[in-house]
Structure 1
Amino acid sequence: MNTAVAQRVQVPDIAAQVTYAMRIMGVSPIPRNYELFYEAYIGSNPKLTRELAALGSKASQEELDAIGAQYFGHHHRTEAIDGAHTKLVGELEGLLRLLKQEQTSLESYTKLLDETFLRITSKNTASVDILKSVIGVLTEATGDTISQGKEMVENVVQKSREMDVVRKELDEYKRIANTDSLTQLSNRRAFDDKLSAIYNTSMTRNVTALILADIDHFKKINDTYGHPVGDKILASVASLIRANVRKDIFVARAGGEEFALVIEGNTEEEAMTIAERIRIALENTPFKNSRTGVNYGPITISLGLCMASEAEGPGELYSKADIALYCAKNGGRNRTMAFEEGMKKDFSKSWLIYRK
């Protein structure tokens, strides 16, 4: 269940409580922050809990990372892999540029030499024999240079091919690392990166929307039919969402039964139309076991939307979209709502309530 409905059901699971705590305190919803708050919540490391509490409600990402580096050394492993990947790609591209320049230079020089030789031999002058001799010597010397250059080029080309294979393997690794295994959508890690990237430029924020979508009554589905059925429904809903949006729209499984979409290049009204298309498609899709005849439906979804221009950063954008999602749930479910400032009053309770 999404934390948007946590207040009405007293948030029965730790994940929802921790996530809600982070949102209320304005902490960016990224995995390494979640791990810190999770450990603080369950109290397995009192020292960590005290240090996190000492930061107060305005902790910077640098302060959180400092604590994370102290207690969780693995925080920087994925950053190191990404850094190595980026460095390799940059070096390969630079090498290929130099290779092309060298090859072009050699080819141009050889062409010029051949043309000069032909022009000289076509003239009937007394100095032809001398000129031929000079050009012959120059040609031989240049031929040796070209031969060596070609060998170097071939070696570099081979190394470039090998590096390209490594790059493709790293690209595939990164794709797998950023993919949710159940739904084959982007996972939470990829979503966090995408969310942060929105604020790398201010040029497109007014035409960029975040949509959070949550399957209605999903806990009841799991409790009634079991988690294997729940997983199949999650995968089916993911496929339906992907099938009803453009290929350039980013779609991720944000966690549990929650999905996230980042829509770029559209107004709020257009983004609402896309959200409604997803909602209606799911509402009209039967969920039935063809072998047993058991009907799992109806399956519906609630969606909350916020434009990037209405938030100062990724954490605030996520929080406001989640508030809109909460209001869609609280308003009867199976609906789409866009964030409005007046919605905030329903989301003001302290996260400490949910530690009970």
Structure 2
Amino acid sequence: MLVADTFANAQEYSEQAIKVMKQRAIPSTPSNFTIWYDYVSGKNPHLTTAINDIISGDGLFSAEVSNELYTNFYLTDKQQSENIHEAGDKLQKTLKHVIEQISEAGSDTENYGEKIASLAIDISETISGQEGSTSLKDFVAEIVRETATITEKNRALQGQLQQSSNEISSLQQNLEKVRTESLTDALTQIGNRKHFDNKLIEETKSSIEENSELCLLLMDIDHFKKFNDTYGHRVGDEVLKVVARMIKSAVKGQDTPARYGGEEFTCILPNTSLHDAASLADQIREKISKQVLKNKKTGQGFGRITLSIGVSKYVREEPLEGFVQRADEALYRAKDQGRNRVIKEIS
């Protein structure tokens, strides 16, 4: 794995990977960097075989080919993605430390050079006219030249390390962006189902460790199909965006709103009682029900948006399926009882 590489190896593999990607006109995205880092390091024999087969064929690494490679060898392995991110962070910190040391060493060398040059002048003046003075001057001058050469090499090394550090930092930022995007619903810009699943596991563990209350809201837009069928999918998309925005604005920083799927939304509420969770759900429901969607150009109204909401409370160490199912059952009771209402789980 990347985390097992020494600093020298990681630096070498990174430079080789970037060089190969440039030669083949492959974009330096985090996923492509991952593929080619492992290829040049020889750590993944199956990946190496697959890439060599492509090279021996048409040799083209289109976006589709690269995506297929990444999907086949990495996307199913969550830990691999986390390891790459961790390795990038460690490598960046290591580079920063080395650069600081090189900078300090370079500063010392420059000071040394200046002192040698000053001594050379003093010695030249002192021994001027004495026997053997020419060879001594030449000797001192040679020391000055060698010192200047060392100083220049240190400057070049420092510059190369800084450039490598910047490239690694950029790759790490891109990787973080990809990770964030993978957990965000593209349409509504709140958490997606994957983000919800991850946070639910995390929050239930915290609830057990801290012996704190944890509640869940499961929300469904009433008669959502009507918006799509009557006004088109663009209006339906706007309805989803409005609901997501209103939910997000109503919750606290510790809460996790997410799009559960289709026209369903959810919100994880740590440190919240069932009573308070139901109160918050009713505030969200009422706030959204007051929204009237209109066509900005024509003024045409698209009707009100209403939500049916189910609320459940986590029972210590229960299966997560039961926690979600109780919220889902409460949601369907809200639908059966006329919609546009909040129903708590049956205790």
Normalized against structure 1, the TM-score is what? 0.57
Residue type at the aligned position of 1:314:
L
Please give the root-mean-square deviation of Cα atoms over the aligned residues, in Å: 3.9
Q: Which residue of 1 aligns with 2:76?
A: 79
Worse overlay, 199-208 or 170-179: 199-208
Residue type at the aligned position of 1:94:
K
Secondary structure of the 1:260 match is strand
Residue type at the aligned position of 1:274:
L
Q: Which residue of 2 aligns with 1:251?
A: 257
Whether 2:302 is the aligned partner of 1:296: answer yes
User: Which of 232, 245, 248 lines up with 2:238 in the alignment?
Assistant: 232
Q: Which residue of 1 aligns with 2:187?
A: 182
CA distance in 2, matches of 1:143, 1:308: 70
Q: For the Cα contact (< 8 Å) 1:214–1:259, is it kept in 2? A: yes
Whether 2:318 is the aligned partner of 1:321: answer no
User: Which of 268, 278, 283 lines up with 1:272 in the alignment?
Assistant: 278
CA distance in 2, matches of 1:85, 1:218: 37
> Which ranges of structure 1 fall in alignment gaps of 5 or more residues?
1-73, 115-140, 342-356
Whether 2:203 is the aligned partner of 1:198: answer yes
CA distance in 1, matches of 2:170, 2:106: 32
Q: 1:105 to 1:338 in 2, by over 3 A?
A: same
The total of aligned residue pairs comes to 251
Structure-to-structure mapping, 1:139-158, within 5 angstroms: 154-158=159-163
Q: 1:327 to 1:111 in 2, by over 3 A?
A: same
Q: 1:100 to 1:218 in 2, by over 3 A?
A: closer
Q: CA deviation at 1:218?
A: 1.6
Query: Between the two proteins, what is the percent identity of the paired residues?
Result: 31
Q: Which residue of 1 aligns with 2:32?
A: none
User: Which of 182, 205, 209 lines up with 2:215 in the alignment?
Assistant: 209
Structure-to-structure mapping, 1:43-192, within 5 angstroms: 77-80=74-77, 82-99=78-95, 154-192=159-197
CA distance in 1, matches of 2:93, 2:252: 35
Q: Which residue of 2 aligns with 1:45?
A: none
User: Which of 314, 339, 345 lines up with 2:345 in the alignment?
Assistant: 339
Q: Which residue of 2 aligns with 1:219?
A: 225
Normalized against structure 2, the TM-score is what? 0.58
> Which ranges of structure 2 fall in alignment gaps of 5 or more residues?
1-70, 112-145
CA distance in 2, matches of 1:76, 1:324: 41
Q: CA deviation at 1:281?
A: 0.4
Residue type at the aligned position of 1:193:
N
Q: Which residue of 2 aligns with 1:260?
A: 266
CA distance in 2, matches of 1:299, 1:222: 13
CA distance in 1, matches of 2:260, 2:237: 15
Q: 1:171 to 1:92 in 2, by over 3 A?
A: closer
Q: For the Cα contact (< 8 Å) 2:309–2:343, is it kept in 1? A: yes
Q: For the Cα contact (< 8 Å) 1:208–1:267, is it kept in 2? A: yes
Secondary structure of the 1:274 match is helix
Q: For the Cα contact (< 8 Å) 2:215–2:269, is it kept in 1? A: yes
Q: For the Cα contact (< 8 Å) 1:204–1:265, is it kept in 2? A: no
